[in-house]
A = this chain, B = another copy of it.
Amino acid sequence: MTRSLRPVPADALRAALRPHAAGVVVVTAAGERGPAGLTATSFTPVSLTPPLVSFYIGQSASAWHTVRDADYFAVHVLGARQRALATRFATSGIDRFAAPTTWRPGPGGVPLLDGVVTQLVCAQLSTRPIGDHHLVLGTVVAVAHGPDDAGLVHRDGALVPVASSITQAS
C-alpha cells in the first residue's frame, strides 16, 4: 500500500481501475446541432423513489453541450449483441447516427436507438462539474424493453459479455 496521502497520479489510478467491471450504455440527446450521443460506463441507478439515474460525461465530449442543453436524455442499456454499437458511439469523427445505427425521435425529439435491451427516457434535472467531468442527473419518465440478451461490460480495456445469472445474490 502506498502510504502517500497525496492524490495518486493518473497512470496509477488508471491501472488500479482496470479490474473494475462497468455496465455499458449509450446516452443520447437532441439539440439544434442534431442528435448527439456517447457510450458511457458511468451510468448508475440512484434512487427508485423518486426514480433517479445519473452518469458522468467528460467536459470535452462531443455530446456534452447537446446533453447539457436538452430537456431529455435517453439511456440505452446494451447487451452482448450491441458491441458494435458501443464501439460506434465511442468513435470520434464519425456520424454515430448514420447507418447501420437505426433510431427514431422520442419525447422532445430525444433519439431512441433500436434493438437495445432497455431504453430509459429521462428528464434532465441537473448538471454539475466534478473534476474534469460533469455529473448529469435525470428523472426517469418512460421505460421500454427490447429483446433479451446477455449483458455487456467494460473491463480491462475490453468489451466483455456477461453470461446469464448463475448464482442468486442474497
Q: Which A positions have Cβ atoms within 8 angstroms of B?
A: 1-10, 12-17, 19-23, 25, 42-52, 54, 56, 77, 79, 83, 86-87, 90-91, 106-107, 112, 117-121, 123, 130-133, 135, 137, 139-145, 148-149, 151-170
B162 contacts A21, CB within 8 Å?
yes
Residues of B within 8 A of A132 (CB): 47-50
Residues of B within 8 A of A160 (CB): 151, 162-167
A152 touches which one: B21, B45, B119, B164 (CB < 8 A)? Answer: B21
B19 contacts A117, CB within 8 Å?
yes
Residues of B within 8 A of A165 (CB): 155-158, 160
Task: List 19 interface pairs A-B (beta carbons < 8 Å), by A numbering.
Answer: A1-B121, A2-B142, A3-B107, A6-B141, A10-B49, A13-B140, A16-B145, A17-B77, A22-B23, A44-B44, A52-B130, A83-B167, A86-B169, A90-B170, A151-B155, A157-B169, A158-B166, A160-B162, A160-B167
**In the assembly, what is the distance between CA of A44 and CA of B135, in Å?**
11
A162 → B minimal CB distance (Å): 5
**In the assembly, what is the distance between CA of A16 and CA of B149, in Å?**
13
| Top 8 A-B pairs, shortest CB-CB distance | A47-B131, A158-B165, A16-B143, A21-B151, A10-B48, A21-B23, A52-B131, A1-B144
**In the assembly, what is the distance between CA of A128 and CA of B17, in Å?**
24
A8 touches which one: B77, B131, B142, B149 (CB < 8 A)? Answer: B142
Residues of B within 8 A of A19 (CB): 77, 79, 117-118, 148-149, 151
